[in-house]
């Protein structure tokens, strides 16, 4: 009988999991449907000569422990830019610039300066508590024994150790909408708009939706400012793949897994789209939970109620990706040339974000969307022909389940987004060489993200920690023996962090059961 462990999908979590398993001496085979590794963290060509990070474009919380333990620096991982500033574009003047800790320039209300510093400091302290859970398997919701109860008790103690004031703030704020917290804390619209984006990006939530403070904290569990690796996000994946291979992992590209095979309640391997069957002693799925169970495993192998919970898991993506090849660097209104390479936001107020969100509730796209722009070719000129640039923009809200479907409306939506960009960067349109719009529907077909959801599932308290992805699957192990999950659908969730993969590897090695 084979001892091989198969990892489905060479996304960053799959690669991390593979590398750790191989380093523990296991025989590991990673099967990837696409022609390159990385899943949603890839750099790819969208027009001849132009490359962009195809999905994720900024690196927030990549686990430094993984970076260290897998010696990623030796496998080609370097920062092109280590502290990316956030530049909140102002339709009427100078933008607001902050570095995640302090406001650098552009404040409309002086009192916001200290308020911002204090606020971010507080949020980092609270985020640190969440971060402390990231490296662990979530606690069980049972008091059957002290052993079972300990992780929960430990979490309670950690909360106590925050001190009375912070603990109270955490318990008060954890369910709150970002809008309410912003109203409590700040006066300036531009600042509130920028922070609202941090709370809603990648979700189907608006700033007035509960759980957005949670998403904000989740974003800041990583670093206070994002960074950009040399070679784009794909380089992170390439370095992971290189580290994994060095540890003995075998990676097969273009090998689409069509089914995870189950016999007598146990995963026995996979069947590829080509029909090839590969046996394994253990299968670890880096695909999202819905894809894993509804398409690869089949819900019939689960308990009926678990199948129902997976069926109802919320993972409708609302973020589209727009790539633009430019023959020149665009000029954004009021933005210094030195700042164009930073993270540019179009979200001039929290109200703007909320109005952008409203149509998504009814299956419509935002006519005035929020946009997060990165021009990676500034830090990394290899991405475009000399003198040319690529612009990578996350555009929200573009709900996956658009009324009438995306095919009929993608051109209209792209035109809307370009018009918004034109408003902030007059003359932008004249620089365009080529564009590529990836709607959530495209993300689903091209990257296997169910519902086009970047985080493999909405990050809300009902899908958080032990309840992520759904109750009963919160510990990486599944009710199917020898089948594990390692993707962002698991704790601790989305973002290119790698922690789900690392945690899953630990559980696999311990032979954990759900």
Partner 1 sequence: MNKADVIVVGAGHNGLTSAAFLAKAGLKVLVLEKNPWIGGAAVSRSLHKDWIYSNCSYVCSLLRPEIFRELELGKHGLHVVPYGGGVTFTRDGDILGNYVDEEVKRREIMRYSARDGDAYLRYSRDVMRQCRLVRSLLMRTPPDPTSWRWRDLTEMRHIGREFAALGPAVLADTIRFHTMSIADYLNEYFESDVVKANLAGSGIIGTALGVQSPGTAYVLLHHYMGDVDGQMGAWGFARGGMGAVSQALASALTSFGGTIKVDAPVAQIVVRGGRVRGVALDNGDEYSAPVVISGLDPKRTFLGLLASGDLDPAIAKRARDFKIRGSSGKLNIALDGLPTFPALGKNNPLAAGDMHFLDSLERYERAYDDWKRGMWSRDPYLDLLIPSLTDPTMAPPGKHFMSVFVQYVPVKVKGQDWTDADREAFKKTVFQQISRYSPDFESLVLHAEVRTPRELEAEVGLTEGNIFQGELTFDQLLFNRPFPGFAQYRGPVKGMYMCGSGTHPGGGVMAAPGANAAREVLLDLKRGNTVPNGWSDD
Partner 2 sequence: MRTPREHFRLVVKYTPFHSRTVAANELNLWHRWRDYSVADAYFDVSLEYTALRNTCAVFDISPMTKHRITGPDALAFMNRLVTRDVAKIKPGRVGYAVWCDEQGQVVDDGTIFHLSPGVYRLCSQERQLDWLHTARLGFDVTVVEETEDVAALSLQGPTSCATLCALGLTGIETLTPFGMRTFAFGEAELLVSRTGFTGDLGYELWIDPAHAEALWDALFEAGNLYGIRPLGTHALDIARIEAGYIQAGVDFLPADHAIRADRTRSPFELDLAWLVDFSKPHFTGRRALLAEQSRGSRYRLVRLDVAGNKPATDAYVYDAKRRVVGTVTSAVWSPMSKASIALASVAMPHGAVGTPLWAEIYYQKELKWNRTNVECTVLAGPSYDPPRRKVTPAPMR
**Contact indicator for 140, 151 with CB cutoff of 8 Å:** yes
**47/307 with CB nearer partner 2:** 307
Binds partner 1 by CB under 8 A, chosen from 167, 259, 272, 432: 167
Question: Going residue by residue from 416 to 455, which x/- string records binding to partner 2, judged by CB under 8 A?
Answer: ----------------------------------------
Q: Which residues contact 357 (CB under 8 A, 6 or more apart)?
A: 200, 205, 206, 207, 209, 366, 397
Q: Kindly state whether residue 79 participates in binding partner 1, applying the rule CB under 8 A.
A: no
Count residues binding partner 2 (CB under 8 A).
Answer: 19
Binder of partner 2 out of 79, 184, 305, 462 (CB under 8 A): 305
Q: Map the footprint of partner 2 across residues 98-117, applying CB under 8 A.
A: none
Region from 58-66, 265-273, 380-388, 463-471 binding partner 1, contact rule CB under 8 A: 463-471
Q: Give me the least distance between CB of 175 and partner 1, in Å please.
A: 4
Could you tell me the two tokens for 385? 């022909």
Residue 171 binds what, of partner 2, partner 1, none (CB under 5 to 8 Å, by partner type)?
Answer: partner 1
Please give the Cα distance from 433 to 388 (Å, whole number): 9
User: Is 311 a residue that touches partner 2 (CB under 8 A)?
Assistant: yes
**Angle in degrees, 0-180, between the axes of helices 350-361 and 189-200, rounded to the nearest 10:** 40
Contact between 466 and partner 1 by CB under 8 A: the answer reads yes
483-485 and 50-53 strand pairing = unpaired
Residue number, 385 or 479, with CB nearest to partner 2? 479
- Among residues 3, 68, 73, 168, which is the contact residue for partner 1, using CB under 8 A? 168
Residue 76 interacting with partner 1 (CB under 8 A)? no
Q: What's the token pair of residue 23? A: 């380093």
The DSSP bridge pattern shows strands 5-8 and 282-285 to be: parallel
Residues 6+ apart with CB under 8 A from 288: 315, 448, 449, 450, 453, 456, 457, 469, 487, 488, 489
456 neighbors 495 (Cβ within 8 angstroms): no
69 binding partner (options partner 1, partner 2, none; Cβ < 5 to 8 Å by kind):
none
Q: Find the binder of partner 2 among 162, 187, 272, 307 (CB under 8 A).
A: 307
| 10 neighbors 40 (Cβ within 8 angstroms) | no
Shortest Å, Cβ 500 to partner 2: 24
* Binding flag, residue 96, partner 1 (CB under 8 A): no
CA–CA separation, 245 vs 232, rounded Å?
Answer: 20
CB atoms within 10 A of CB 242: 21
Helix axes 178-185, 189-200, angle to 10 degrees: 150
Residue of the chain from 43, 396, 460, 478 that contacts partner 1 (CB under 8 A): 460
> Going residue by residue from 258 to 297, which x/- string records binding to partner 2, judged by CB under 8 A?
----xxxx----------------------------x---
Per the CB < 8 A criterion, the answer to whether 226 and 496 are in contact is no
Nearer to partner 2, 186 or 484 (CB): 484
8-state DSSP, 341? T
Alpha carbon distance 501, 412 (integer Å): 39
- Residues forming the site for partner 1 (CB under 8 A): 140-143, 160, 164, 167-169, 171-177, 180, 183-184, 205, 208-211, 308, 312, 314, 354, 358, 361-362, 460-462, 466-467, 471-472
């Amino acid at each position: 009988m084979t001892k091989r462990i198969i990892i489905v999908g060479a996304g960053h979590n799959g690669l991390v999991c593979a590398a750790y398993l191989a380093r523990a001496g296991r025989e590991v085979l990673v099967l990837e449907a696409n022609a390159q590794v990385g899943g949603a963290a890839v750099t790819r060509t969208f027009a001849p000569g132009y490359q962009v990070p195809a999905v994720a474009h900024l690196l927030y919380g990549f686990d430094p422990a993984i970076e260290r333990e897998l010696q990623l620096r030796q496998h080609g991982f370097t920062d092109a830019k280590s502290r990316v500033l956030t530049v909140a574009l102002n339709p009427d003047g100078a933008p607001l610039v902050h570095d995640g800790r302090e406001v650098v320039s552009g404040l409309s209300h002086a009192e916001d300066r200290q308020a911002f510093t204090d606020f971010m400091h507080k949020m980092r302290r609270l985020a640190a508590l969440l971060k402390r859970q990231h490296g662990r398997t979530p606690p069980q919701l049972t008091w059957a024994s002290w052993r079972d109860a300990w992780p929960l008790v430990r979490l309670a103690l950690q909360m106590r150790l925050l001190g009375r004031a912070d603990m109270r703030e955490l318990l008060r704020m954890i369910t709150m909408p970002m809008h309410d917290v912003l109203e409590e804390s700040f006066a300036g619209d531009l600042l509130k708009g920028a922070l609202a984006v941090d709370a809603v990006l990648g979700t189907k939530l608006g700033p007035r939706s509960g759980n957005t403070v949670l998403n904000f904290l989740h974003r800041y569990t990583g670093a206070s400012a994002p960074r950009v690796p040399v070679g784009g996000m794909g380089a992170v994946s390439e370095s992971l793949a290189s580290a994994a291979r060095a540890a003995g992992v075998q990676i097969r590209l273009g090998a689409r897994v069509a089914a995870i095979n189950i016999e007598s309640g146990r995963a026995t391997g996979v069947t590829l789209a080509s029909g090839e069957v590969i046996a394994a002693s253990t299968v670890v799925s880096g695909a999202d939970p819905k894809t894993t169970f509804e398409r690869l495993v089949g819900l019939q192998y689960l308990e009926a109620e678990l199948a129902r919970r997976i069926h109802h898991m919320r993972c409708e993506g609302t973020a589209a990706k727009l790539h633009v090849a430019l023959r020149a660097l665009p000029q954004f209104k009021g933005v210094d040339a030195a700042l164009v390479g930073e993270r540019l936001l179009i979200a001039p107020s929290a109200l703007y974000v909320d109005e952008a969100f409203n149509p998504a509730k009814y299956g419509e796209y935002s006519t005035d969307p929020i946009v997060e722009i990165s021009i990676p070719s500034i830090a990394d000129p290899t991405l475009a022909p000399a003198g040319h640039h690529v612009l990578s923009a996350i555009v929200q809200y573009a709900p996956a389940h658009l009324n009438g479907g995306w095919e009929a409306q993608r051109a209209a939506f792209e035109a809307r987004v370009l018009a918004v960009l034109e408003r902030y960067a007059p003359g932008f349109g004249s620089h365009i060489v080529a564009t590529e719009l990836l709607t959530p529907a495209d993300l689903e077909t091209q990257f296997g993200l169910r519902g086009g959801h970047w985080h493999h599932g909405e990050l809300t308290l009902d899908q958080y920690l032990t309840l992520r992805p759904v109750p009963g699957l919160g510990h990486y192990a599944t009710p199917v023996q020898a089948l594990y999950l390692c993707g962002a659908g698991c704790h601790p969730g989305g973002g290119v962090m790698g922690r789900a993969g690392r945690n899953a590897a630990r559980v696999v090695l311990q032979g954990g059961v759900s």
